[in-house]
């Protein structure tokens, strides 16, 4: 069994994810622009995926995005499940672009 989060964003919505683990982001439908804490930018369309290291990730776009841990080895997966990393995943609306100073 694998634990994951499925996020639905509407046009114009922005979401920030603070993760403890490297995450795989899969665009199930729609289109997403992703900026990772390392400054990497990704543009995903339906069926495309990318991985982002732990830290802050900012998502913008519309559609459905699957967020799950990037599992390289079965042993690391079992450690991840025991620690419950996805339960510590912090999802917050990003500040509005119309706010002063942004």
Residues 29-82 pLDDT 10s: 999 999 988 788 999 999 999 988 888 999 999 999 999 988 754 444 444 444
pTM of the model: 0.68
pLDDT of residue 20: 83
Domains and CATH numbers, the chain: 5-88 (2.60.120.10)
Backbone angle region of 30, left / alpha / beta, with phi > 0 → left and psi within -120 to 50 → alpha: left
pLDDT of residue 43: 94
Query: In a 10 Å sphere around its CB, with 0-12 CB exposed, 13-18 middle and 19+ buried, how is residue 92 labelled?
Result: exposed
The more confident residue out of 21 and 60 is 60
Structure tokens at 75: 């042993």
């Amino acid at each position: 069994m694998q634990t994951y989060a499925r996020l639905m964003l509407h046009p114009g919505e922005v979401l920030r994810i603070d993760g403890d683990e490297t995450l795989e982001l899969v665009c199930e439908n729609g289109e997403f622009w992703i900026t990772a804490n390392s400054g990497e930018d990704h543009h995903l369309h339906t069926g495309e995926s990318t991985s982002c290291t732990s830290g802050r990730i900012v998502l913008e776009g519309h559609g459905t995005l699957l967020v799950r841990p990037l599992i390289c080895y079965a042993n690391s997966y079992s450690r991840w499940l025991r620690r419950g990393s996805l339960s510590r995943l912090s999802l917050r609306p990003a500040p509005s672009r119309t706010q002063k100073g942004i």
